[in-house]
Amino acid sequence: MTNMDIVYDKTHFRHDPKWSGRLGPAEGGGLLLCVACVIEMLESDEIASVRKSFVLSGISGLLKCSPGALRELLQWDHVVSLRFTASLLGMLQTVEDPATLEKVYQVLVQLLLELQSEQSFHFVLDEIHKQLRDQLSVKSFLPTFNFLGSLVGAVPNVVHSLVTQFVPLLEHLSSALLYPDEGLKASVLHVWLKLFRAAGGLAQSLPVAIRDRVCILLLQTFASASSPQLINNCVGLLWLLVQLEEAVSVLMNSPGNQIMCNENQNIPINNSQILSQNQEQQSLDHCPLPLILKKLLLSGDETLQVTSAKCIAAILVHSPSQYSAPFIKADVPEFLFDRLASSSSEVLLWSVYSCLMLLTEDPLFFSQCHSVYGIESLVRSLKEALRQTNLDVPKQGLLLLTEVLERQPPSVRLFPSGPGFVAVSEAVVAGVSSSCLLVATQAANAASALFRLNHQSRPVQYRELQGLVEAITNRFSEVPLPSPAHPRSSGSLMRSDPSSQASRSGGFLLQALVCFHAACRLAEECASEPVLKENTFTAPSNHSHAQDSLESLCQCLLRCCDSVWIHTVIRMCKCAPNPQILQFFYSILSSQFTLLPSLMPIFAKKLASSGFYRMALEHKGLLCAGNRNPNLNASCCGFLQKLSMCLVSQSDPASGAYEHDAEEVETLLLYNLPSLCCRLSDWPCLLGEAPGLQLCDYKGPRATQYCLVIMLHLALQQGDRLLPDQTVFSSVVRLLHTVQEQGSCTLPHSVLRSALYLLAVTQDKSTSLSGASLKYISKALSSCQSFSSLYIHHPALLHFICRYTELAERCGPLVLELWLTKQAQDTDAELTMAGKQDKGEERESCAEERQEQEPNTEIMELLTVLEKYPAVILTFLDMVCTREASLAERALEVLEVFLRGQRDFEADLCTNLRTALLQVLQRLSAENMGHGLGQGHTAQVNSLPLVLKLLCVMQASDPPSSSSYSKMDGVHFKLLYHVSNIAGRLKPTNTESLLRALSYLYCCLSLSPAHCTDRAVSMLLSNSGLVDQLQTVLSSSSSSAAPSLSPSAGPPSALLCCSHLLVSSLITLQHVHSTQVHKSISWSLDTAVQRLLVQKRNTDNLLLVSYLRFLQALLDVDLASTVLCVSTGPGLVGPRPLGVEDGALYPLGSRGAQFLSTALSGLLLQKHELLLRASVNCLSSLLGFLQRKSPATAKYVVCQPWSRFLLHCLLNSGENCLLHPAILRLITLVRCYTYIQNSHHSNQLMQHNSTAVLWEPDLLQVMEAVERRGVKELSQEAAQALRLLLTQVHLSTRQQPPTDEHKQRVRSVMDSLGPQPPAESCSPSLPSNILYPSPEAQDEGFNVSTKSISNIRGSRLRETERTPLFWWRLSLNPPCGNHILRRVLHPLAVIRPRRASRCDRGAGGVEQREPHVNEQPPPPCCCHLRIRWGKLAVPSPSSES
Give the whole-angstrom CA distance, residue 674 versus residue 641. Answer: 11
Nearest Cα to 421, choosing from 378, 384, 381, 450?
450
The answer to whether the CB of 114 falls within 8 A of the CB of 68 is yes
* pLDDT above 90: percentage of residues in the chain: 26
Q: What is the pLDDT of residues 1201-1225, one digit of tens each?
A: 777 788 778 877 777 787 888 888 8
Phi first, then psi, for residue 58 (nearest 5°) are -65, -45
Give the whole-angstrom CA distance, residue 1381 versus residue 173. Answer: 126
Give the whole-angstrom CA distance, residue 588 versus residue 598. Answer: 17
Return the SS3 of 533.
Answer: helix
Q: What is the pLDDT of residues 1083-1137, one digit of tens each?
A: 999 888 888 888 888 888 899 999 999 999 999 999 999 999 999 888 888 788 8
pLDDT at 213 over 70: yes
Nearest Cα to 1221, choosing from 1333, 1355, 1358, 1352?
1333
Find the mean pLDDT for residues 992-1010: 88
Q: Quote the pLDDT of residue 922.
A: 86
Q: Quote the pLDDT of residue 1419.
A: 33
Q: Quote the pLDDT of residue 1399.
A: 36
Classify strands 20-23 and 31-34 as parallel, antiparallel or unpaired: antiparallel
User: Out of 6-10, 427-431, 760-764, 955-959, which region has the weakest mean confidence (pLDDT)?
Assistant: 6-10
Q: What is the pLDDT of residues 61-71, one digit of tens each?
A: 666 666 765 66
Query: What residue type is assigned to position 542 of the chain?
Result: N
Q: Quote the pLDDT of residue 513.
A: 94
Q: Where are the alpha helices (DSSP H) in 281-391?
A: 289-298, 302-318, 320-329, 332-342, 346-359, 363-367, 370-385
Give the whole-angstrom CA distance, residue 1185 versus residue 1262. Answer: 29
Nearest Cα to 1104, choosing from 1175, 1156, 1155?
1175
Query: What residue type is assigned to position 1191 of the chain?
Result: P
Q: Quote the pLDDT of residue 360.
A: 93
Return the SS3 of 1151.
Answer: helix
Give the whole-angstrom CA distance, residue 146 versus residue 190. Answer: 8
- What average pLDDT does the structure give for the chain? 76
**When comparing pLDDT for 600 and 1368, which is higher?**
600
Return the SS3 of 1117.
Answer: coil
Q: Quote the pLDDT of residue 486.
A: 46
Which contiguous run of DSSP H or E holds residue 704? helix 701-717
Phi first, then psi, for residue 1189 (nearest 5°) are -95, -40
The answer to whether the CB of 1094 falls within 8 A of the CB of 1437 is yes
| Greatest Cα pair distance in the chain | 196
Q: Quote the pLDDT of residue 1382.
A: 30
Q: Is the dihedral of CA 943, 947, 948, 952 positive or negative?
A: positive
Give the whole-angstrom CA distance, residue 475 versus residue 459. Answer: 28
Tell me the whole-structure pTM to 2 decimals: 0.72
Q: pLDDT tier at 1393 (50, 70, 90 boundaries)?
A: very low
The answer to whether the CB of 1253 falls within 8 A of the CB of 1207 is yes
* pLDDT above 70: percentage of residues in the chain: 72
pLDDT at 56 over 80: no
Please state, as a whole number, how many other Cβ atoms lie within 10 Å of the Cβ of residue 1117.
Answer: 20
Please state, as a whole number, how many other Cβ atoms lie within 10 Å of the Cβ of residue 1052.
Answer: 20
Q: What is the pLDDT of residues 1308-1365, one digit of tens each?
A: 888 888 776 554 333 233 233 323 333 333 333 333 332 332 333 333 333 323 222 2
Q: pLDDT tier at 1002 (50, 70, 90 boundaries)?
A: very high
Phi first, then psi, for residue 269 (nearest 5°) are -125, 180
Q: What is the pLDDT of residues 296-336, one digit of tens each?
A: 888 888 899 999 999 999 999 998 888 888 899 989 999 99
The answer to whether the CB of 35 falls within 8 A of the CB of 9 is no
pLDDT at 282 over 90: no
Nearest Cα to 52, choosing from 40, 36, 69, 64?
40
Find the mean pLDDT for residues 533-554: 68
Supply the DSSP symbol for 1052.
-
pLDDT at 1386 over 70: no
pLDDT at 1197 over 90: no
Query: What residue type is assigned to position 422 of the chain?
Result: V
pLDDT at 390 over 60: yes
What does the chain come to in residues? 1441
The answer to whether the CB of 606 falls within 8 A of the CB of 646 is no
User: Out of 443-452, 1151-1160, 1423-1432, which region has the weakest mean confidence (pLDDT)?
Assistant: 1423-1432
Query: What residue type is assigned to position 1065 of the chain?
Result: S
Q: Across the strands, what pairs with 31?
A: 23
Q: pLDDT tier at 1390 (50, 70, 90 boundaries)?
A: very low
Find the mean pLDDT for residues 488-501: 54
**When comparing pLDDT for 1047 and 372, which is higher?**
372
Find the mean pLDDT for residues 449-467: 92
Q: Quote the pLDDT of residue 240.
A: 87
Give the whole-angstrom CA distance, residue 1397 versus residue 1411. Answer: 9
Tell me which range, 746-750, 960-964, 1113-1117, is most confidently predicted by mean pLDDT.
Answer: 1113-1117
Q: Quote the pLDDT of residue 1055.
A: 92
Classify strands 1081-1084 and 31-34 as parallel, antiparallel or unpaired: unpaired
The answer to whether the CB of 1048 falls within 8 A of the CB of 1100 is no
Q: What is the pLDDT of residues 6-41, one digit of tens each?
A: 766 666 656 666 666 666 654 555 676 777 677 777
**When comparing pLDDT for 1252 and 90, which is higher?**
90
Give the whole-angstrom CA distance, residue 554 versus residue 525. Answer: 12
pLDDT at 425 over 60: yes
Percent of the chain that is helix, strand, coil (3-state, to 5): 70, 0, 30
Find the mean pLDDT for residues 752-767: 89
Nearest Cα to 508, choosing from 571, 445, 573, 557?
445
Q: Quote the pLDDT of residue 1041.
A: 54
Give the whole-angstrom CA distance, residue 1107 versus residue 511. Answer: 86
The answer to whether the CB of 494 falls within 8 A of the CB of 506 is yes
Tell me which range, 214-228, 264-278, 1199-1213, 1418-1432, is most confidently predicted by mean pLDDT.
Answer: 214-228
Give the whole-angstrom CA distance, residue 871 versus residue 865. Answer: 10
* CA count, 13 A, side-chain hemisphere, 39: 16
First-to-last CA distance in the chain?
163
The answer to whether the CB of 769 falls within 8 A of the CB of 777 is yes
Q: Quote the pLDDT of residue 35.
A: 73
Neighbour-count burial for 929-962, b at 16+ CB within 10 Å, e otherwise: eeeebbbbeeeebbbbbbbbbbbbbbbbbbebee
The answer to whether the CB of 878 falls within 8 A of the CB of 895 is no
